[in-house]
Amino acid sequence: MFPHERPRRLRRNESLRAMVRETHLAPDDFMYPLFVQSGRDVKKPIS
């Protein structure tokens, strides 16, 4: 059922390893939420 050996074909060279590498998130990857309300100088805090 389950293979006793793990194939290493996706680890053959650095290009393949980079392609299948896990995704790592950093704070720079996120967007800051911005909510817009009509009117001038309207500041309404969001809880």
Structural domain range at position 31: 1-47
Are the C-beta atoms of 45 and 38 separated by less than 8 Å? no
H or E element in which residue 15 lies: helix 14-20
Average pLDDT value for residue range 3-14: 79
pLDDT at position 17: 84
* Confidence label for 30 from pLDDT (cuts 50, 70 and 90): very high
pLDDT at position 18: 84
In whole angstroms, what is the distance from residue 10 CA to residue 46 CA?
Answer: 47
**Is the predicted pLDDT of residue 21 greater than 80, yes or no?**
yes
pLDDT at position 47: 78
pTM of the entire predicted model: 0.33
User: How many domains is the chain built from?
Assistant: 1
Q: Which residue, chain included where needed, has tokens 């309207």?
A: 42
